[in-house]
Amino acid sequence: MQILRAVESGMCFGVRDALAVLDGIAEPVQVTLHGELVHNPEVLALLDRRGFPRSPEATRAVPSTPAVLVTAHGISERERQRLLAAGKQLIDTTCPLVKKAHAAAQQLARDGCRVVVLGKRDHVEVRGLVEDLVDPIVVGSPAEVAAWPARLLGVVAQTTTRAEVAAELVAAIRAANPQAEVRFVDTICAPTKARIEALEQLLPQIDALVVVGGHDSNNTRQLAARGVAAGIDTVHVENVRALQPGWFDGRSCVGLTAGTSTLARTIDEVHGWLLRLAAGRTRSSA
């Protein structure tokens, strides 16, 4: 059994930079993480051990700590002002590429567009994007596309949307709204695209795929969905403990990739496990 690791996988600069800020915080109990920093239980467990309080994603309550850390997913300007008005010191780790998506949505709104956000309605990044918009639309699947009474529709995407999914949704929006000019600003982030492209290179060579990352991580799920859509047997695990040797019976070439919030250590553990499994099978068949 051969193991092929994607040339681009795992943690992106946005998450890495946010974690570096957290590393530098001397008194974690004084800083509430406003929503999940990343959708990765391994990372969150590390932060819990350091003592950072976390406000649940859905909460509207103002945290009780003097400082609040805005996660890489960002928040709306409305939420920022609410926290500042409550006297909170904000430590902002919003990814610059999420800020670009906010700027694009705001520009489209200023240009007179009704703004459509492609993404998951309940995702913290999407909530941050839409909270500053008037009458926004969120579309997660072609079934949610409708005819909207607008002359101008401005479309942006959650940064971790798969490009082909975005293209499909934009085409569906155009087909359902022939009266409207549809402007699409591609706000999908480069690290997400790079991980999908690296996976595309693996797909013709593999007969099974292991995707490592949080089950709630949008971009990790997109990687797994791409494997499934390509007809490759795919398993999505959060860590090495979830791997089952029997799942690899009869596989000749296994691909390995990971989402943008996955720790390098977690991927290395999975990779090492796969290499040991492959070596054992090679020995036993020799």
Shortest CB 241 distance to ligand SF4, Å = 25
Beta bridge partners of 182: 153
Q: Is 9 in the site for ligand SF4 (CB under 6 A)?
A: no
- Based on the shown chain and the rule CB under 6 A, indicate whether residue 159 belongs to the binding site for ligand SF4: yes
Binding mask 11-50 for ligand SF4 (x = CB under 6 A): -xxxx-----------------------------------
Query: CB neighbours (10 Å) of residue 273?
Result: 17
Q: How far apart are CA 224 and CA 230, in angstroms?
A: 10
Helix axes 41-50, 13-23, angle to 10 degrees: 10
Minimum Å distance from CB 74 to ligand SF4? 9
Report d(CA 181, CA 166) in Å as an integer: 17
Among 43, 44, 83, 95, indicate the residue that binds ligand SF4 (CB under 6 A).
95
| Closest CB to ligand SF4 among residues 3, 105 | 105
- Residue number with the smallest Cβ distance to ligand SF4: 14
| Parallel, antiparallel or unpaired: strands 253-258 and 114-118 | unpaired
Tell me which stretch binds ligand SF4 (CB under 6 A): 20-28, 188-196, 225-233, 237-245. Answer: 188-196
CB of residue 235 vs ligand SF4: minimum separation in angstroms? Answer: 22
Token output for 119: 């993404």
Looking at the DSSP bridge assignments, the partners of residue 254 are 3, 208
Region of 141 please: left (phi>0), alpha (psi -120 to 50) or beta: beta
Is residue 192 part of the contact set for ligand SF4 (CB under 6 A)?
yes
Least separation in angstroms between residue 228's CB and ligand SF4 is: 21
Q: Which of 65, 93, 160, 222 binds ligand SF4 (CB under 6 A)?
A: 160
């579309």: which residue's tokens?
139
Q: How many Å apart are CA 66 and CA 81, to the nearest integer? A: 15
Tell whether residue 189 is a contact of ligand SF4 (CB under 6 A).
yes
Chain residues binding ligand SF4 by CB under 6 A are 12-15, 72, 95, 97-98, 159-160, 189, 191-192, 219, 260
